[in-house]
Amino acid sequence: MVILITGITSGFGKAMAQRLTADGHKVYGTHRKAADFIPGVTYIQADSQSDADCEAAVQQVMAAEGRIDVFINNAGMGIGGPIEFNQISETQRQMDVNWMGMVRYLHFVLPIMRKQHSGRIICLSSIGGLMGLPFQGAYSASKYAIEGYCEALRLETRNAGIKVIVVEPGDFATSFTAQRASVTDPEAQAAYPSYSKALSNIEHDETNGLKPEFLAAKICKIVKAKRPRHNYIVATFVQRLSVYIKAILPPKLFAKVLSLYYGL
């Protein structure tokens, strides 16, 4: 299969590119500043915040292969901190990279798959796209946007031979933790005393989370599956359980559970 993955320089993207290439697929991956290159993978320099870059990346794959069988939306970033203290520009960037980046690529990928009458779209959301995480509100919002967009897209393309799959990872040990742009303003710490402890808990869970290779293996199975599910939660048992609990508990009670977990 011909597969286009966004954001393959590290973490999930790099692990997926390595695994899918090893499985015999032809993998193309976008990057902004790649430091090392995976043998067999074709790298395309592109910024998901640029319409022109996204279009050029898709056209490059089409020029070489004449088709795109699988598109994996992976590129993303995160900001943390009390919503009140998130800079508007940073919140805009959060949405532009995580959600609009996906929208841009799909604007150019969808016509191709519709004409092929086949294709598989795999978009990485997060457990944070299923529940609003404290001090990660903008990140959760960007992932909620992916959930709603893909739910609508799935219905629109159901007769076009296109399958839309959303993957919701839990905590994973990747460079995402170190790269998160977290609020450090002392005023934020004073206004929200629980912020420091909650952030420490978040970083601890991520640092001790699953390895990206675990998710890459799941993605390979989804690519091969004849009848893939609409959604896949890829996380520890406790994190998967939290999603199911949210579905059955009254919202007020579940909010209390989250508050206790994060020490709010």
Residues with active-site annotation:
139
| DSSP code string of 16-50 | HHHHHHHTT-EEEEEESS-SS--TTPEEEE--TT-
Strands (E), 61-176: 70-73, 79-80, 119-124, 162-169
Q: How many C-alpha atoms does 3 have within 13 Å on its Cβ side?
A: 30
User: Can you tell me the distance from the alpha carbon of 212 to that of 77, in angstroms, rounded to the nearest whole number?
Assistant: 16
| R_g of the chain computed on alpha carbons | 18
Phi, psi of 192 (to 5 degrees): -130, 85
* Integer CA distances (angstroms), 184 to 76, 167, 190, 192, 223, in order: 21, 31, 11, 12, 41
User: Can you tell me the distance from the alpha carbon of 62 to that of 9, in angstroms, rounded to the nearest whole number?
Assistant: 22
Do residues 219 and 17 touch, judged by C-beta distance below 8 A? no
